[in-house]
Amino acid sequence: MNRKLFMKRRQLLKLAAAGGAAYAFGRLPDAVYAQAVNAYARFADYKALVCVFLFGGNDSWNMVVPRSAAEYQAYQLARQNLAVDQATLLPITPVTPLPNGAALGLHPSMPEIAALFEQDAACALIANVGPLITSTSLAQYQARSVPLPPQLFSHNDQQDQWHSLRGRAQSNTGWAGRISDALGAQTGPAIPLNVSLSGQTLFQAGESAGSYVIGATGPVEFFGLDGTDALSVARKNGFETVARAAYGTIYERAYSGVQQRALESAQTVNAALATVRAPNPVPFATPFPASPLGTQLKTVAEMIAVRGTLQASRQIFFVATGGFDSHDDQVQDQPGLLANVSACLDAFYRATVEMGIAQNVTAFTQSDFGRTLTSNGDGTDHAWGGVQLVVGGAVRGRNIYGNYPVLRLGATLAADGADDVGGGRFIPTTSSDQYAATLARWFGVLDADLARIAPGIDNFTQRDLGFMT
Bond prior to 192 in cis (omega within 30° of 0): no
Reported residue count of the chain is 469
Q: Is 80 exposed, middle or buried (0-12, 13-18, 19+ CB in 10 A)?
A: exposed
Question: How many C-beta neighbours within 10 Å does residue 142 have?
Answer: 10
Sketch the domain layout of the chain as residue ranges.
47-220+290-459
Structure confidence at residue 226 (pLDDT): 64
Calpha distance 381→366 (Å, rounded): 17
Average of per-residue pLDDT across 250-260 = 68
383: pLDDT strictly greater than 90: yes
The arithmetic mean of pLDDT across residues 228-245, rounded, is 71
For the stretch 174-198, pLDDT in tens is 999 999 999 985 445 578 999 999 9
Tell me the C-alpha distance between 29 and 22, whole Å: 15
Residue 402 burial (CB count, 10 A)? 23
* C-beta of residue 155 within 8 angstroms of C-beta of residue 419: no
Let me know if 252 is exposed, middle or buried by CB neighbors in 10 A (0-12, 13-18, 19+): middle
- Are 222 and 13 in contact, with CB atoms under 8 Å apart? no
> What's the rounded Cα separation, in Å, for the pair 47 and 272?
19
Q: What is the overall mean pLDDT for the chain?
A: 87
**CA dihedral (263, 36, 214, 274) positive or negative:** positive
* Helix, strand and coil in the chain, % to nearest 5: 40, 15, 45
pLDDT digits (tens, 9 = 90+) for 6-34: 334 444 443 343 333 333 444 443 343 34
Q: pTM, whole model, 2 decimals?
A: 0.89
Which stretch of DSSP H or E encloses residue 50?
strand 47-54
pLDDT digits (tens, 9 = 90+) for 77-103: 889 999 999 999 999 999 999 888 899
Residue 153 confidence class, pLDDT cut points 50, 70, 90: very high
DSSP calls for 192-241: -SEEESSS--GGG--SS--EEE-BTTBPPPPTTTS--SHHHHHHHHHHHH
- Predicted pLDDT of residue 306: 96
Cα separation, 351 vs 367, in Å, equals 24
- CATH annotation of 47-220+290-459: 3.40.720
Q: For residue 57, is it left (φ>0), alpha (ψ between -120 and 50) or beta?
A: left
Q: Give me the mean pLDDT over the 105-127 stretch.
A: 98
Task: Read off the DSSP letter of residue 81.
Answer: G
pLDDT at 60 over 60: yes
Angle between helices 230-243 and 250-274 (to 10 degrees): 140
Say what the pLDDT of residue 10 is.
41
Higher pLDDT, 54 or 78: 54
